[in-house]
Amino acid sequence: MTYLQAISDGLRVEMRRDERVFVIGEDVGVYGGAFKVTLGFQEEFGPWRVLDSPLAETAILGACTGAAIMGMRPVAEMQFADFISCGWDHLVTVAAKQRFRAGTPVPIVVRLPSGGGFSGGPFHSQNPESSFAHIPGLKCVCPATPEDAKGLLISSIEDPNPVLFFEHKHLYRRIKGEVSEERYTVPLGKARTHREGDEISVITWGAMVYTADEAAKELEKQDVSVEIVDLRTVMPWDREAVLASVRKCSKVLVLHEDTRTGGFGAEIAATIAEEAFEDLDAPVKRIAAPDCPVPFAPVLEKAYIPQVEDVVAGLSELAAY
Burial class of 101 by CB neighbour count within 10 A (0 to 12, 13 to 18, 19+): exposed
Stretch that binds another protein, among 27-35, 46-54, 122-130, 260-268 (CB under 8 A): 46-54
Q: Are 237 and 268 in contact (CB under 8 A)?
A: yes
Among 38, 42, 65, 245, binds another protein (CB under 8 A): 65
Residues 1, 11, 13, 63: which binds another protein (CB under 8 A)? 63
Please compute Rg for the chain using Cα positions.
Answer: 19
25 part of the interface to another protein, by CB under 8 A:
no
Residue 68 within binding range of another protein, rule CB under 8 A: yes
H-helix segments, 196-238: 208-221
Rule CB under 8 A: say whether 155 interacts with another protein. no
Binding residue for another protein (CB under 8 A) from 34, 37, 61, 171?
61
161 vs 250, which CB is nearer to another protein?
161
- Please state the φ and ψ torsions of residue 9, each to the nearest 5 degrees: -65, -45
Query: Contact with another protein (CB under 8 A): which of 2, 36, 39, 58?
Result: 58
Query: Applying CB under 8 A, does 62 fall inside the site for another protein?
Result: yes
Query: In sequence order, what DSSP letters do the residues of 105-160 get, joined into one string?
Result: ----EEEEEE--SSS--TTSS--THHHHHTSTT-EEE---SHHHHHHHHHHHHHSS
Q: Are 219 and 180 in contact (CB under 8 A)?
A: no
CB nearer to another protein: give 23 or 226.
Answer: 23
CB of 38 to another protein, least distance (A): 16
Compute the least distance from the CB of residue 244 to another protein, in Å. 24
Question: Which range of residues in 118-126, 155-163, 179-187, 311-319 is near another protein by CB under 8 A?
Answer: 155-163
Residue of the chain from 16, 17, 101, 217 that contacts another protein (CB under 8 A): 101
Inter-residue contact 164 to 266 (CB < 8 Å): no
Active site residue 168: no
105 binds another protein (CB under 8 A): yes
**Contact predicate 115/289, CB 8 Å:** no
Instruction: Return the residues of window 172-231 that contact another protein according to CB under 8 A.
Output: none
Instruction: Name the residue nearer to another protein (CB basis): 94 or 319.
Output: 94
Question: What's the gap between Cα 169 and its chain centre?
Answer: 11
Minimum CB separation of residue 190 from another protein in Å reads 16
Q: Does 99 bind another protein (CB under 8 A)?
A: yes
CB of 117 to another protein, least distance (A): 32
> Residues 90, 124, 168, 170: which is the catalytic one?
124
**Residue 48 binds another protein (CB under 8 A):** yes
Is 16 a binding residue for another protein by CB under 8 A? The answer is no
d(Cα 76, Cα 134) in Å, to the nearest integer? Answer: 21
Cis check: omega of the bond before 162, within 30 degrees of 0: no
Shortest distance, CB of residue 203 to another protein, whole angstroms? 23
Task: Go through 156-171 and write b for each residue having 16 or more CB atoms within 10 A of its CB, e for each that does not.
Answer: bbebebbbbbbbbbbb
Handedness of CA 51, 233, 226, 116 (dihedral sign): positive
Q: Which helix (H) or strand (E) holds 78?
A: none
Is residue 90 involved in binding another protein (CB under 8 A)? yes
Q: Enumerate the active-site residues.
A: 124
Binding site for another protein (CB under 8 A): 22, 48-49, 51, 53-54, 56, 58-59, 61-72, 74, 89-90, 93-94, 97-107, 136-137, 139, 158, 160-161
